[in-house]
Structure 1
Amino acid sequence: MQSCIATAQRVVVKVGSSLVTNDGRGLDLKALSRWAAEIAALAQQGKQVVLVSSGAIAEGVARLGWPKRPSAVHELQAAAAVGQMGLVEAYERCFKAHNLKTAQILLTHEDLADRTRYLNARTTLLTLLGLGVIPIINENDTVATAEIKVGDNDTLGALVTNLIDADALVILTDQRGLYDSDPRKNPAAKFISEYQAGQPELEAMAGGAGSSVGTGGMYTKIIAAKRAARSGASTVIASGREEAVLTRLAKGEAIGTQLTAGTTRIAARKQWLADHLQVRGTLSLDAGAVLALGDKRSLLPIGVAAVEGEFLRGEMVRCLGPDGREVARGLVNYDAADARRIVRLPTGQIEAVLGFVDEPELIHRDNLVLL
């Protein structure tokens, strides 16, 4: 197996907290210098690289002299604000040693959920890459709240991969890669060198968070690979402790677990619908409705068995099949209260029940993406 990084021209590299900090106590400057040197080597090969880096909060905690990472949101946000200064300053110095310019991009889920801001972020990143600049991306923890947070940098890396149409995503962690069970609990766990991203059994294999520093366990990396695959990008999950891991991957060496993208690629707007909008509710469908969606038809009220959550017209909802698995997501044409009143009804009865008809479909096929 040859690494997908060998042929990739545009790569997103995500490094976790454990690889850029001294066990959560401030930045590891030697580690940052190493990542800058390896990314510089990729740039010399003509590859465009975007770096998604953790470490701001850990650096802020160290700069503020706190004995441990706080749990209060306002203190975490304060630590992020202080730590971003050190993180960006350190990266700028490290990349400058290789004659490379850097740019800081801070994002939240809200930035990517707004279509205009999404496109603006895309244009900015592509312009920076065209100028030979290395964008360094992190979540904007200083202002992010639970409602607008991406949540972890594995997910952020995947969303950026979709955003810029990258060829590959590299998730560097403190573990070798993916096993079929937790190797910390099962000595007989088998290592997985290659698999297709998005397969349901992968999620069953993934364990919880394994690091006391970061928030992303192997499960988030599996989901990130699934998201990246929607835009045709393969993902490599590898240990950042491996010597020259990025340059060796670029030479084609098989390191870690490679989760390959399938041949089906979702259109750009469908990717945005699938991954960049936060889900506000759930529709439970019958088997007939699931088949209709598979035939690229719209979702009608008659095929919906139940409505959960509170949402407004135009917000994102997930669609579950009779087995409870998510089959689609889409922008709903009715709010939750009205949707509950018209489920199981034919389209012709909507006006009689509600007194009006916004749309004959609960979700139009143009605003719906199959998963």
Structure 2
Amino acid sequence: MTSNASSPARARIAAAKRIVVKIGSSSLTRANGRLDIAALRRFVDVLAERHAEGVEIVLVTSGAVAAGLGPLDLPNRPKDLATVQAAASVGQGLLIGQYADAFAAYGIPVGQLLLTTEDTVRRSRYRNVWRTVDRILALGGVPIINENDALVADGRGFGDNDRIAALTAHLVRAEGLLLLTDVNGLYDGPPSQEGTKRIPEVENLADIAHVEIGGSGSSVGTGGMVTKLRAAEIAVESGTPVILTTAASAREALRGEDVGTCFAAKDKRPSRRQLWLAHAAKTDGKIHVDEGAARAVASGRASLLAAGVTAIDDNLNASDPVSIVDPEGKEIARGLVAFDSSHVREMIGKSTDEIANELGEDYGRAVVHLDDLVLVGRSRGNPGPLDDLEQ
């Protein structure tokens, strides 16, 4: 951690030509749960300023459920799924309508994308999101993204828009991510506790492993500091710097000023496919490997060869996302399998040359190539600084 107010990460965000901005429910609603239209318009004023300067803005917004509370005469965020979905359905129209009107004052069109987990766990749909967002930006508009709470059939959605924002930032190759909440950054202890101080810069996530984190979000939202830090982890690992601050400080944050907490990004940006595999993909099955293959894969420098495979689940097709598990059943990596299950079974335990001789040259290659493989959890070789955060 450092107190350098003019850090390179802040400078990168100030100079960014494409940025993702996420705003939470608590920043857009009054204490009674109703949408605060004045606050929304002040927020849009800030984004429109940057848009006029040639910056492409992707907005990830919460607030649909909260916006639906007033019209439905609900005093608080409901606890049962059906009422949450009803509030979201009513609130989505109200929320996007207010955004459309606010941006229209600046001649900026908006496009709405309501996402469910299926839009990220299936690569074809993930790519469709990217194409739509990219085209709206090219046409001079602002894509507005929210989780589609009205259609989460079993209640198991993303759970927060912070993760959506981090995934979107990488997907659209944003140069910065701004996470807006009701707390001005990360503190070295509970913000309400006397003597705690704001952490202005985080150069490495391992530096905050000792920080006590709590809170589960406001009464109108579902996020909290933990979700924001996990979103920051996704973003910085994908090469995107992050600023976490309040909506009231959004203008200063976009200018690179010393507000909130700034998280420096790693230099190497993984491919969209790698990020999808690591944080968004729903795996279709497992490939079990022996100890030697597990070590080789965990090194991050080797493809998975058939010689190290011990078993594979049924009904896997070529290019399906799979989990690679060690002899103890622990997931060490994810990847795209190169062959159907039936073909992999014919290859198990055999060398590449043996496979090529028996099945043909087309089969003399890795079961999961290094380019289609990503390590997960502690297999990445880092200490997993967020794994032990107090929730």
1:117 aligned residue:
125
- Confirm or deny: 8 A CA contact 1:286 1:304 kept in the other structure: no
2:272 aligned residue:
268
Aligned partner (choices 244, 251, 276) of residue 247 of structure 1: 251
Please report how far the alpha carbon of residue 147 of structure 1 lies from its aligned counterpart in structure 2 after TM superposition: 7.8
Please report how far the alpha carbon of residue 298 of structure 1 lies from its aligned counterpart in structure 2 after TM superposition: 2.5
- Confirm or deny: 8 A CA contact 2:81 2:155 kept in the other structure: no
1:138 aligned residue:
146
1:329 to 2:337 alignment: no
Greater RCO, 1 or 2 (C-alpha within 8 Å, sep 6+): 2
- Distance in 1 (alpha carbons) for counterparts of 2:147 and 2:350: 43
Per-residue CA distance 1:265-324 (angstroms, 9 max, x = gap): 1122212222221357787985872344425212468878999x9996666455678999
Helix, strand or coil: the match of 1:49? strand
Helix, strand or coil: the match of 2:150? coil
Per-residue CA distance 1:320-362 (angstroms, 9 max, x = gap): 78999975333467999xx9x99xx8457xxxxxxx9x99967
Q: How many residues align?
A: 358
Aligned partner (choices 67, 90, 100) of residue 92 of structure 1: 100
Aligned partner (choices 237, 244, 253) of residue 244 of structure 2: 237
- Distance in 2 (alpha carbons) for counterparts of 1:285 and 1:202: 35
What pairs with 1:179-218 in structure 2 (closer than 5 Å)? 179-184=187-192, 186-196=193-203, 199-200=205-206, 202=208, 205=211, 206-218=213-225
Runs of 4+ aligned structure 1 residues displaced above 6 Å come to 280-285, 301-307, 320-326, 333-336, 358-362
Change (3 A) 1:8 1:284: farther
Helix, strand or coil: the match of 1:95? helix
1:38 to 2:46 alignment: yes
- Confirm or deny: 8 A CA contact 2:305 2:368 kept in the other structure: yes
RMSD: 3.8
Amino acid across the alignment from 2:17: Q
Helix, strand or coil: the match of 1:171? strand
Per-residue CA distance 1:31-83 (angstroms, 9 max, x = gap): 10111100011111111111111111111121111232222212211111111
Helix, strand or coil: the match of 1:178? coil
What pairs with 1:1-371 in structure 2 (closer than 5 Å)? 1-2=5-6, 3=10, 4-23=12-31, 25-146=33-154, 149-184=157-192, 186-196=193-203, 199-200=205-206, 202=208, 205=211, 206-240=213-247, 242=248, 245-278=249-282, 286=291, 289-299=294-304, 316=321, 328-331=333-336, 346-347=349-350, 363-370=368-375, 371=380
Amino acid across the alignment from 1:109: T
Please report how far the alpha carbon of residue 25 of structure 1 lies from its aligned counterpart in structure 2 after TM superposition: 1.4
Q: Extract unaligned runs of 5+ from structure 2.
A: 352-358, 381-391
2:386 aligned residue:
none
Helix, strand or coil: the match of 1:64? coil
Amino acid across the alignment from 2:31: D
Helix, strand or coil: the match of 2:99? helix
- Distance in 1 (alpha carbons) for counterparts of 2:188 and 2:292: 32
- Distance in 2 (alpha carbons) for counterparts of 1:196 and 1:362: 37
Identity %: 38
Q: Which moved more, 1:200-209 or 1:279-288?
A: 279-288
Q: Which moved more, 1:298-307 or 1:158-167?
A: 298-307
- Distance in 2 (alpha carbons) for counterparts of 1:144 and 1:285: 38
- Distance in 2 (alpha carbons) for counterparts of 1:326 and 1:196: 28
Per-residue CA distance 1:92-146 (angstroms, 9 max, x = gap): 1111222222221111221122222222221221111122211111011111235
Change (3 A) 1:82 1:214: same
- Confirm or deny: 8 A CA contact 1:13 1:51 kept in the other structure: yes
Change (3 A) 1:48 1:305: same
- Distance in 2 (alpha carbons) for counterparts of 1:110 and 1:301: 31
Please report how far the alpha carbon of residue 210 of structure 1 lies from its aligned counterpart in structure 2 after TM superposition: 3.9
Please report how far the alpha carbon of residue 165 of structure 1 lies from its aligned counterpart in structure 2 after TM superposition: 0.7
Query: TM-score when scaled to structure 1?
Result: 0.81
Q: Extract unaligned runs of 5+ from structure 1.
A: 349-355
Q: Which moved more, 1:187-196 or 1:312-321?
A: 312-321
Per-residue CA distance 1:171-225 (angstroms, 9 max, x = gap): 00011111233334x544442211136x345466343424222211111111111
Change (3 A) 1:229 1:304: farther
- Confirm or deny: 8 A CA contact 1:179 1:190 kept in the other structure: yes
- Confirm or deny: 8 A CA contact 2:58 2:144 kept in the other structure: yes
- Distance in 2 (alpha carbons) for counterparts of 1:161 and 1:48: 12
Change (3 A) 1:306 1:188: farther
- Confirm or deny: 8 A CA contact 1:289 1:304 kept in the other structure: no
- Confirm or deny: 8 A CA contact 1:24 1:58 kept in the other structure: no
Q: Which has more strand, going by share of residues? A: 1
